[in-house]
Amino acid sequence: MDIVSHALIGKIVSVFGKKRRNSDFWAVFFAIIPDFTLIPFYLMLGYQNNRPFFIAYNQDWIGASSSFPVSTAVYFLFHSFIFAFAVILPLVIFFKIPKIAFAAYLFHLIVDIPTHAGEWAIRVFYPFSNAVDGFTNAWAWPLSYMAVSWLILIVFLFLIKSIKKEGR
> Among candidates 1, 14, 142, 26, which has minimal Cα distance to 91?
26
The 10s digit of each residue's pLDDT in 54-110 is 989 989 999 999 999 999 999 999 999 999 999 999 999 999 999 999 999 999 999
Q: What is the pLDDT of residue 164?
A: 83
Q: What is the pLDDT of residue 44?
A: 93
Average pLDDT, the chain: 93
d(CA 91, CA 97): 8
d(CA 100, CA 168): 20
Q: Burial of 64 by CB count in 10 Å (0-12 exposed, 13-18 middle, 19+ buried)?
A: buried
The 10s digit of each residue's pLDDT in 90-103 is 999 999 999 999 99
The 10s digit of each residue's pLDDT in 136-151 is 999 889 889 999 999 9
Question: Domain range holding 104?
Answer: 3-166
Angle, CA of 13, 86 and 27, to the nearest 5°: 20
Residues with Cβ within 8 Å of 40's Cβ and at least 6 positions away in sequence, in order, are: 71
How many domains does the chain divide into?
1
Q: What is the pLDDT of residue 103?
A: 97
